[in-house]
Structure 1
Amino acid sequence: MFASMQIARAGTPERLSLDPGWLFLQGDVPLPSIKGQGASYMTTKAGEAPGPAGADYDDSTWRHVDLPHDWAVEGPFDPDQNRAQGYRPRGIGWYRRYLTLPVTDRGRNIELQLDGIATHSTVWVNGIVVNRNWSGYNGRNIDITPYLRYGKEVNTIAVRVDAEVMEGWWYEGAGMYRHTWLVKRDAVHIATDGIHANPVQKNGRWTLPVTVQVDSSAAAARDATLDVILVAPDGRAVARATAPVHVDALHSASARLDLAVRNPQPWTLDKPALYRVHAVLRDAKGEIDSAETHTGFRTFRFDADRGFFLNGQPTKLQGVAIHQDHAGVGVAVPDSIWEYRMRQLKSMGVNAIRFAHNAPAAEVMDLADRLGILVMDENRNFNTSPDYMQQLTWLVRRDRNRPSVVLWSIFNEEPLQGTEVGYEMARRMVAAIRELDPTRPVTAAMHGGLFSDKGAVQALDVAGINYQVWEYEHFHKTYPDKPVFSSEDTSAFMSRGAYKTDVAKHVVASYDDDAADWGQTQRGSWKHITDHPFMAGGFAWTGLDYRGEPTPHEWPSASSFFGIMDLCAFPKNAYWFRQALWIKDKPVVKLMPHWNWPGQEGRPVKVRVATNAPHVRLLLNGAVVGEQDVAPFDMATFDVPYAPGRLEVVASRNGKEVGRDAVETSGAPARVVLTPDRSALLGDGADAVPVTVSVVDAQGRPVADANLHVRFDTDGAGRIIGVGNGDPNSHEPDKASERSLYNGLAQVIVQGRRGAHGKLVLRARADGLQPAEVLLAVRDAGALAVVPEAQPIVRPGTWRSSPPQSERPDPNVALADNDMNSWAWGDPPLGMAPGAKRWRAFRVSFPLRADHNDGRAHVVLREIAGKAEVWLDGVKLGDKTSFAPGPLVLPVPHGPGWRTLTVLVEAEPGKPSGLLGDVLIERGTP
């Protein structure tokens, strides 16, 4: 019945990127001591923030950057820095951005959205503090409508970032490392994250209850109508409902609508069907706002005896935990690189991700929904004070519609977890979550306190156990009705491409024989889970290597060895072991190690096969050297006397070959090879492509043990934004045009330039080798929804105005420092009505930017009514000799950074007078 529905014309809300065009200063700016009545008085006033927070601060020497930006990854490795943070300096940083708004925006609601800043930050708009935040992982939606200026006036956003503080014991980066947005909407509008639409199945029938929050910054109460349309994956509108909304001025209201949905396509791991919930707000004059979210139709449950079920089918959580940094870019990971990482994980057999130990970016959660990956959505801070509860509720409001999310997690490994205090805190956090989303269970990752008389576990719906595999059965007997899963396990070590452990060189062999004292191997951890049917699954630590927490080694190691893949998302052998354990619908056969062992002829080499086949046969140069039935978890291992040539494994089932793999002895490196993940990218300044760098010998065989140095350069519509090689011991810079291979591989990340299209040519050279060149198409991204960059304008303020006077006042008269009232306060237009007293003085003190203080700037007084004298720092600049209203432009000589401008105005008898137009300091020829 809904096939013929037409979606209403989209409204006029704008969500514009604020990513490009920021100015950045690494380091803090010491502020002068505030002394004296005048300075003390002024610095407490709205709009008068001192230093870089102020609207008129001189940032002319600051560096230009585009966001996302992580300044820590640009820094050197330093053994005196925090090992947990990857031995990289962090510190303090400042960002500033200028923008203008058309006069047509006046009356609209303007929201500043900051998606993630590491770590603590304070935000000012036009010198007014508008937000303080105590986490590097939550986004903020800040209503900045009251503070804005329109037309030619320039608005200033300033952000101070304190990355000295840390929330995690891993690399967290530093700076504005996620996206920023400016959202413009009608004064009556759908709130950000204001649509709650989570499908419910009852008695085999699906309904979609939709609640929409409407906010108002209008000056009076208004009535509106809300239309909600459900759009199927094929674009058809399949359900619709309408409800009235009445919202008072500066208040919020909500509307509840229920949509009946017949036979929806299910969201599954293989076919993640996503539906769009499109909400349109109308008043008597037409459409005023619209918003959209997506959702999916799926059922899931945790069973205390049988584990996890998705859409009624038993499904083990084949999960990994991951942090958010990547080679070359730190935590400022482009969305497309995130997609590459998650595709790599999905291809390994991952069906679930725990984003440890914090909320990821919204774009990453979108990928989980779209790719069909379940999510354990984890809160960062275990704290029930208001600031931290706001972080928790923000996370739930943002993600509660997502079909990927099956667990809310309130903490990881907290010392209070087994105490009464921990119970009380957990109970309150669980209650806050249930108020916003009663459909998903709440868990926590616990490494102790599971059996205390009073602890967090009693408040949880599902228990998560970190590492303590010996407690699985004990827990199930103690809490027979509480579902349980492994929230963290494994902690196994590998150096990608290395096959001999060398403790002195911080190298760990890649056979899956090494794990932390508290952990297990890849194979062993999964065996513990599959041996216990009541375990819902687990999350291996970790899916990818990450900077910081360099375990099992410290300096010079700067990143972890835990990853199933390395920092570049290149698979280690752990990847193939997990594939063999997790993938059931196709054969997996991987032979290890490489077969380059010069000088080891005749000596045994350990050979291991990762496979899900039941039988393997090993051949060296065509001759059988071994044959085994495959143990499901131990896989197959051989000792093979080394001889150069071709080592091959043939996997079979019931005597029939199902797959094979081979390694071959290579010659010396002869040629560099560049392999991009994609052949094209957008010229939007955001899309990025990882390019794999490798070398082959004269016969085209990969040289798996090559560690030579490669140099890169580009031409055309793009640039290099980072390099890496996955070596946890490497101290080569991430921001560079060169990199050494690590065991045969390196990575260079290229990005299309904003507004560019055409071709991007990447070249790679290594001494003595044939160079490589690859061409990528950079496609026109079309009109980009970006807030244009604006140039700062020096508009002196705040002005003081003397009382009307009968005689010409002294232009250099000094006011007492504590005199806040004998002269008035304000900014032009500053007028004086006709009267017997014809003279008035106007004065302002202001900072003059260095790029305006070179002797070539001018003071521009747009309109003065009356005769006038203009004085700067006690020196007369010039006169206006006519009473008639008109402009005055005068040169500004080079001088100190702080200036005082005084204008004496004489009124024509019986006529109004004063500064009736803007007063600006402009560069160049007037």
Structure 2
Amino acid sequence: MGSKRQVINLDRDWSFHLGEISEPRHLSMKSLSLGGFTAPIDGEKGERMPFGPSGAHFLGLVGQGDQEKGLAIVAGTDVDSQLDASWKKVDLPHDWKRDLPYTNNPALTMNGFKDDCVAYYRRSFSLDEGIRGRQVHLYLDGILGVSDLWYNGAYLKHNESGYVAQDIDVTALSRYGDEGNNTLLVKTDTRHGAEGWWNEGAGIYRSVWLEVYNGVHLSEEESWVRVIELTSASASLQVNVGVVNDGEQEVTVTPTVLIGEQQVSLAKTTLLAGDQTVITTKVELAGPHVWTPEDPYMYPVTFQLEGDQLVKQLGVKTVEYQKDGFYLNGQRYELHGICYHQDFAGVGIAQTKEMLDYKLRLFKEAGINTLRSAHHFASPDLMDACDQHGILLMNENRLLETSPWRLDNLRRMVKLSRMHPSMAFWSLSNEELVGNTIPAGRMSHQVATIIRKLDPDHILVQAELLNPEGKVNEEYLQNIDVLGVNYPESPLMGSGAEVIHQQHPDLPMMSTENASYFTTRGNFKDDDTKGLLNSFGTLYSNLAPGKQKPGAPGTGGTATPKQVMEYVKDHPYMGGTFIWLGADCYGEPSPLGWPATTSSYGIMDICGFPKNDYYYYQAHWADQAKTYLHLDPTWNKELLEIDDQGNTAVRVYTNADQVHVWVNDHDYGIHDVVDNTVDLQVVYEPGVLKAEALSGGKVIDQATQVTASSPTKVEVTCLESGNEVDLYQLKAVDKQGNFVSCANNLLYVSAAGGQIWALANGNVIEQDDRRRDQVKLFNGLALAIVRKTSETRSELTVEMEDN
């Protein structure tokens, strides 16, 4: 039996340079001769380029005894470039735009006021002699910005899209043992345009690694299991095993697959040298334990071949969409969805598994069961997190274009996504201006054909702009399973969705994007000069009537959460909802503009701290066997809107029948709960705001908000801890331990057992978020992200400046 598959992680110890360098050429006059930063430099093991005795003799002649001079003359080799102080050490994932200063340029508004630039990453590494003769593949999960790669003196690859994983065979190009170090140079350039109008970030923002395997090995893309039919008694499975023979001899293989504890043997197959094949069989799984968001059970699936093994996860489930909505495992299932942008406080798009786990856990606690990857392919880490947490996934193709390179990207990502248990939908694209036209029909037909061929089990959706007249192109509709429409609940869209439904009563329809409503965490009054939007209903909007700032950026403010939920209730055939947005993101600073650099759409802020609307959806969607009660506002008047009579708004979200409200000893009575909400006006007075949840007249839960005094302490709570990163909430409390919701004190933060990666606070106008040693509280909270340097959890030291 040959050696097993080996994974070599390359995320640590990169050299990084922001700005131009003496860039290597793409074309070379001699093999492996580019030199410079693409090859070993002074202090690194190995020659600039390998050459034999004849080459050495020739270069010595040309260079008059100086071989490097000869290289420069004969091949134009860069023999001078060296790393200097302008190169910094970084680890991956990395988003270099986070370290750029903010620039007040209206042209940069939607991407968060960050300039475009170019940057380079360089990694030198060795490969053991024992790897020689095996296959070596380089994997890059995601590089944002148009990218170019060089490897060991050769130009390796160009890539346009930042949302597609790359797999490159570097077997012959690599150096082994005493041959010296291998050198990888990566250029990332955002100056050639953007794929998205939001803040896309920049750099190598996902993992990089090598996989080493035998000449005869399994194909990760082609090894997968699909559910053909599902009953309570059994699941009919199709098992596919991809086998590649990169060796030099004909081989006969007999793969096996272990699904849970059930072993499956496949037919003996012979492959010629250089061949590859997919071996397929069918198997019955008795008494299947199905995958659902409420019980995301997964069967480990081990694909085995002599000398190679792959382990994946199988979720036994079926998905279907009918004219009355979505069906999971044969049962109608309402989608409680959110749209999701891939960034996080302080680190931008350089998210780790810990950050994903933290946010998805909060989504689940709110009753969210579906996530739309907006507006691009989901990362492997995001798909893994959805699988494990039990969140159905809508995976989205970036653009409805059929350029060869885009179709190649589509094929690769479909193959990498199709077995994930969370996969439910493919979105062909989002809000295309060419949508519902004859040219778009041709392109969507080609995209849909590719997806259906590679993944026949998941639902094809098109997320469309609406028009009030409900006009659609009949031919265009033939290419999709479900017509998705964005913001059907918004008065701005008229009755477009209803008109389509009336004219096409058998057409499955879905609400693919909703709400787009602005709020600020912990704030209950509008003040655009401070970037504050009222959580009880801001008047600021880009589209709907209200306060509209001249030249305000972007769109949004299309509908309130209440309008969304009323629409879902009245239009069950739409299947549910996808709230825009799960969490605030960098860029799209609607409706404020400069100095705001962050969006305000999210039901959580960019740190993942829940806002008021989070609890509204939780009261509707979360496990109704539990009681949910959330009381707002916080009870320090600095954050409240108080009228001339001293009245202020109080809001309670709950799934109880009634709510009883007090302010100190003043009884404001028992109120019936409507739409999981109680709204009332009370006279503000310092002290205690209290709400009791009642069921059948009995108190089943209570919540309070207390007027806090000045902050005296910072409570540090670990939100998530993993192999790479620890996340901490920093919370201001007074001497009685009450949360000080209006605290904005400056904190000085340091870490033991790790390095501060980022500090943030969720304030959309905060522009001092590049500091690694201090952060201001915003409405009483801040976030610290620590990159661990030990296996144990890191420890924070926090000092608070007295205001």
Q: Which has the larger radius of gyration?
A: 1
Match status 1:580 vs 2:619 = yes
1:662 counterpart residue number: 704
Letter in 2 for 1:702: F
1:79-90 equivalence runs, <5 A: 79-80=104-105, 82-90=108-116
2:303 counterpart residue number: 279
1:745 counterpart residue number: 781
1:440 counterpart residue number: 458
Match status 1:195 vs 2:219 = no
Q: How big is the shift at 1:734?
A: 3.4
Give the one of 202, 205, 208 matched to 1:177. Answer: 205
Q: Distance in 2 between matches of 1:655 and 1:547?
A: 46
1:248 counterpart residue number: 272
Q: Distance in 2 between matches of 1:200 and 1:276?
A: 18
Match status 1:146 vs 2:165 = no
Letter in 2 for 1:47: L
Q: How big is the shift at 1:668?
A: 1.2
CA RMSD of aligned residues (A): 2.1
Given the superposition, is the C-alpha separation of residues 120 and 552 from structure 1 closer, same or farther in structure 2, using an over 3 Å criterion?
A: same
Instruction: Report the TM-score when normalising by structure 2.
Output: 0.88
1:597 counterpart residue number: 637
Q: How big is the shift at 1:155?
A: 1.3
Asked whether the equivalents of residues 447 and 468 of structure 1 are also in contact (C-alpha less than 8 Å), the reply is no
2:600 counterpart residue number: 561
Q: Distance in 2 between matches of 1:312 and 1:681?
A: 37
Match status 1:96 vs 2:96 = no
Q: Distance in 1 between matches of 2:389 and 2:288?
A: 18
2:568 counterpart residue number: 529
Give the one of 179, 186, 191 matched to 1:159. Answer: 186
Question: What is the SS of the residue equivalent to 1:157?
Answer: strand
Match status 1:461 vs 2:500 = no
> Could you report, residue by residue, the CA deviation over 1:720-741 in whole angstroms, capped at 9, with x for unpaired residues?
1111100111101234211101
1:726 counterpart residue number: 762
Asked whether the equivalents of residues 141 and 192 of structure 1 are also in contact (C-alpha less than 8 Å), the reply is no
Q: Distance in 2 between matches of 1:463 and 1:291?
A: 37
Q: How big is the shift at 1:594?
A: 0.8
Letter in 2 for 1:749: I
Q: How big is the shift at 1:403?
A: 1.8
Letter in 1 for 2:630: K
Q: How big is the shift at 1:669?
A: 1.1
Letter in 2 for 1:658: I
Give the one of 377, 381, 389 matched to 2:395. Answer: 377
Given the superposition, is the C-alpha separation of residues 512 and 208 from structure 1 closer, same or farther in structure 2, using an over 3 Å criterion?
A: farther
Question: What is the SS of the residue equivalent to 2:143?
Answer: coil
Question: What is the SS of the residue equivalent to 1:85?
Answer: coil
Asked whether the equivalents of residues 76 and 88 of structure 1 are also in contact (C-alpha less than 8 Å), the reply is yes
1:318-329 equivalence runs, <5 A: 318-329=336-347
Q: Distance in 1 between matches of 2:631 and 2:454?
A: 49
Stretch of structure 1 that moved more, 436-445 or 512-521: 512-521
1:494-573 equivalence runs, <5 A: 494-512=519-537, 516-517=543-544, 519-573=558-612
1:859 counterpart residue number: none
Question: What is the SS of the residue equivalent to 2:17?
Answer: strand
2:678 counterpart residue number: 636
Match status 1:609 vs 2:638 = no
Q: Distance in 2 between matches of 1:409 and 1:119?
A: 23
Asked whether the equivalents of residues 483 and 536 of structure 1 are also in contact (C-alpha less than 8 Å), the reply is no
Q: How big is the shift at 1:606?
A: 0.9
Q: Distance in 1 between matches of 2:2 and 2:671?
A: 64
> Could you report, residue by residue, the CA deviation over 1:71-125 in whole angstroms, capped at 9, with x for unpaired residues?
1111111112611211123311111111222222122111100000002111122
Given the superposition, is the C-alpha separation of residues 439 and 114 from structure 1 closer, same or farther in structure 2, using an over 3 Å criterion?
A: same
Given the superposition, is the C-alpha separation of residues 602 and 373 from structure 1 closer, same or farther in structure 2, using an over 3 Å criterion?
A: same
Question: What is the SS of the residue equivalent to 1:632?
Answer: coil
Letter in 1 for 2:181: V
Q: How big is the shift at 1:50?
A: 6.2
Question: What is the SS of the residue equivalent to 1:146?
Answer: coil
1:26 counterpart residue number: 18
Question: What is the SS of the residue equivalent to 1:472?
Answer: helix
Stretch of structure 1 that moved more, 115-124 or 731-740: 731-740
Given the superposition, is the C-alpha separation of residues 631 and 419 from structure 1 closer, same or farther in structure 2, using an over 3 Å criterion?
A: same
> Could you report, residue by residue, the CA deviation over 1:205-246 in whole angstroms, capped at 9, with x for unpaired residues?
312211121122212332222111111xxxxx1242222232
Q: How big is the shift at 1:247?
A: 2.3
Asked whether the equivalents of residues 688 and 707 of structure 2 are also in contact (C-alpha less than 8 Å), the reply is yes
> Could you report, residue by residue, the CA deviation over 1:296-316 in whole angstroms, capped at 9, with x for unpaired residues?
1112221102x1122233221
Given the superposition, is the C-alpha separation of residues 513 and 54 from structure 1 closer, same or farther in structure 2, using an over 3 Å criterion?
A: same
Question: What is the SS of the residue equivalent to 2:728?
Answer: strand
Question: What is the SS of the residue equivalent to 1:530?
Answer: helix
Q: Distance in 2 between matches of 1:44 and 1:416?
A: 45
Question: What is the SS of the residue equivalent to 1:560?
Answer: coil
Given the superposition, is the C-alpha separation of residues 265 and 383 from structure 1 closer, same or farther in structure 2, using an over 3 Å criterion?
A: same
Q: How big is the shift at 1:10?
A: 11
Give the one of 291, 302, 307 matched to 1:288. Answer: 307
Give the one of 48, 70, 85 matched to 2:33. Answer: 48
Q: How big is the shift at 1:59?
A: 4.1
Give the one of 255, 270, 276 matched to 1:226. Answer: 255
Given the superposition, is the C-alpha separation of residues 648 and 524 from structure 1 closer, same or farther in structure 2, using an over 3 Å criterion?
A: same
Q: Distance in 2 between matches of 1:512 and 1:602?
A: 20
Q: Distance in 1 between matches of 2:143 and 2:293?
A: 32
Given the superposition, is the C-alpha separation of residues 76 and 662 from structure 1 closer, same or farther in structure 2, using an over 3 Å criterion?
A: same
Question: What is the SS of the residue equivalent to 1:674?
Answer: strand
Q: Distance in 2 between matches of 1:226 and 1:12?
A: 15
Given the superposition, is the C-alpha separation of residues 426 and 592 from structure 1 closer, same or farther in structure 2, using an over 3 Å criterion?
A: same
Asked whether the equivalents of residues 2 and 214 of structure 2 are also in contact (C-alpha less than 8 Å), the reply is no
Asked whether the equivalents of residues 636 and 742 of structure 2 are also in contact (C-alpha less than 8 Å), the reply is yes
Letter in 2 for 1:646: V
Unaligned runs of 5+ in 2: 41-47, 49-77, 490-494, 545-555
Q: Distance in 2 between matches of 1:169 and 1:539?
A: 20
Asked whether the equivalents of residues 223 and 241 of structure 2 are also in contact (C-alpha less than 8 Å), the reply is yes
Asked whether the equivalents of residues 419 and 454 of structure 1 are also in contact (C-alpha less than 8 Å), the reply is no
Instruction: Report the TM-score when normalising by structure 1.
Output: 0.77
Given the superposition, is the C-alpha separation of residues 279 and 612 from structure 1 closer, same or farther in structure 2, using an over 3 Å criterion?
A: same
Question: What is the SS of the residue equivalent to 2:195?
Answer: coil
Give the one of 509, 516, 522 matched to 1:484. Answer: 509
Letter in 2 for 1:365: M
